[in-house]
Structure 1
């Protein structure tokens, strides 16, 4: 059986479900920067490399693996190594989008430029290097505006600014928020028009340029003026999943980027004038969105992403019609040192399916903005018949969460 190369995995709490499913379907050889630990249960072999983001070294390492056993596909579920993964697949003649198209997704400014030329609805966006350049852009687009790092995901460094004072206060922090595994840009900050409306994401499969949406996630954000993602809901019966206009936009977006094969996570704002693109990621969604999609629809994203990478057909049919949600929980004050975190089982309603403790005793954590994403102390997931039932269950889980501090 052909090998599936997996380039790193990401954190266990977010990516083990994907790795477990992929490992049940295909023998996995993993590239990693450290000796695997929990991953060993799901893989057959591995190679430790100095970096998973160096395309030249990674291609050489992949060729060495392929000399001993045929390789059928390459998978990457993280932003940092995704370009290298595409380079490996291209060098070995395996199914992939052009690495340039993958890089178009990594570079949010390049995404905007290409989609602006294609007429795709999106906020006005310009890349800048200095505060003065940012001021000049906002003078044209008006307040409120959004500033964000050009090459980072996960809402790191993304801030709504409502006036010149906010822009001056937050600009340098956003400019200094860079992906340690990504490229350095001469104009590293995007200044964008702020658009109103709820935010969604769509995980899709793309084969030979045809885009098939798998599931829609409704995002919950908090801690303004930042955009911390504190939860998501996936409804297998979401009307947007079959909305022709959204499908047309997804097709136009991927065509404009040149992305013809793989899995993507595309984010939109649902504005009063229609859906507007926020960003495109050349990988499956984060924050356990693939897991929520599986629990809501029955589609297994781990198997799907692996099969697509191998150039094989995957079952994209929903076998379940439920709603799944996740909530992330935080401490109330900055620099809180944890003594213990636990959920009281007797207080958890039946709809709660999984609880997970992130913070360990001795950790010092903060809520956003100081603890953007890294300040999460626990999460819970719920499966029910409606978003409201999931929300109620996740509220109850929050009440059942007990945090002892030093």
Structure 2
């Protein structure tokens, strides 16, 4: 059994299934900022790094590798946590294990560096300019022509990203994008990007990369809401999605990864399918968030976490598809901008047979806010399902959320 260091875990709800399955195949040593809790049954060792600093993570991985002379050699190090993408790449490079490379990991974290690297290679993407203040932002927006997208340079989960249609809206949203923490940036004073707005379907492609070769694992299709924000109200995937074999998309992914020099690991690439072909929205140096990887396994039988573990140890991943279903997730939101939750639960008798998970995300007494420019987390519950077709899946998710029983009031 190979030994694998996993850096960080994230929310139990979204990551336990991956750690459990990896723990069945690998001898896992966990590097985490607190003593192991729910993770304990799936790991053989834990290194606690208070604050999870970059130096602390690198030192912890070095120590585990050094101890390998007694416990057995370490074969790989990996993470699926956005906050630790760069730190894990630094640790892998420090001990000579496979990884994306620190510069490539930084390029995934810093969206301006991504844009610059792709521009140098001529990879298709929207026009983008880094700005320091509202005056610069307005000048760029007028040059591109409204509407434009405003986004923080190092944000996650679409926080503070908005579609703006005039100068007044741009000024209103600028402060939110500017004050978002700009971790790891070399010039944090210039932390806001103004970008051309692209039309077309937006998809996500999760891939594993081994020695520079990009292996697409699954495609996720987004359901969006709460304009002008880009809140993902749901997403779905299919085990036999024809886009996985589309040569234009495969070639595009290869270009993107080569442009930033990404060597080994996992990526979540978001792109628009425009009339001129695919164009990059962003690339993240980890697997997709929420339960996207869970849906991939439900739809195709492929486990993205195991695929990442394999390439992190230098091995060929098993991407054999054993089923061809459609699987999806849909989130529920409160009815008012500020909503106090009194009661919340799913009526199990109302759940369709295709439903898998039906989970409240808040508890009675909590106040929940709808998505807005400073917050992109207004979800109160979610349901997942799997079905033979996209139409059947959508109907099942409709029924599942209709089974959510809530009592709430304006806060």
Using a 3 Å threshold, how does the CA distance of structure 1 residues 171 and 371 change in structure 2: closer, same or farther? closer
Q: CA RMSD in A?
A: 1.6
Aligned match of 2:66: 67
Aligned match of 2:96: 93
Q: Offset of 1:370 from its aligned partner?
A: 6.4
Q: Offset of 1:180 from its aligned partner?
A: 6.3
Aligned match of 2:330: 327
Structure 1, 39-48 or 180-189: larger mean CA deviation:
180-189
SS of corresponding position for 1:381: strand
- Match 1:398 to one of 374, 383, 401: 401
> What CA distance in whole angstroms lies between the structure 2 residues aligned with 1:198 and 1:243?
15
Give the TM-score taking structure 1 as reference length: 0.96
> What CA distance in whole angstroms lies between the structure 2 residues aligned with 1:371 and 1:295?
33
Give the TM-score taking structure 2 as reference length: 0.95
> What CA distance in whole angstroms lies between the structure 2 residues aligned with 1:364 and 1:34?
28
**Does residue 1:48 correspond to 2:52, yes or no?**
no
Q: Offset of 1:381 from its aligned partner?
A: 0.5
**Does residue 1:126 correspond to 2:125, yes or no?**
no
> What CA distance in whole angstroms lies between the structure 2 residues aligned with 1:67 and 1:381?
43
SS of corresponding position for 1:51: helix
Aligned match of 2:217: 214
Q: Offset of 1:399 from its aligned partner?
A: 1.1
Contact 1:340-1:403 within 8 A present in 2 as well = yes
SS of corresponding position for 1:250: helix
Using a 3 Å threshold, how does the CA distance of structure 1 residues 400 and 369 change in structure 2: closer, same or farther? same
**Structure 1: segments with no counterpart, 5+ residues:** none
Aligned residues: 405
Contact 1:334-1:370 within 8 A present in 2 as well = no
Contact 2:338-2:368 within 8 A present in 1 as well = yes
> What CA distance in whole angstroms lies between the structure 2 residues aligned with 1:388 and 1:368?
27
**Does residue 1:114 correspond to 2:117, yes or no?**
yes
SS of corresponding position for 2:39: helix
> What CA distance in whole angstroms lies between the structure 2 residues aligned with 1:55 and 1:72?
21
**Does residue 1:200 correspond to 2:215, yes or no?**
no
Structure 1, residues 339-390: CA drift from partner, whole Å, max 9, x if none?
2211111111111111112112222111111684422111110100112211
> What CA distance in whole angstroms lies between the structure 2 residues aligned with 1:23 and 1:122?
39
Contact 1:325-1:387 within 8 A present in 2 as well = no
Q: Offset of 1:270 from its aligned partner?
A: 1.5
**Does residue 1:31 correspond to 2:34, yes or no?**
no
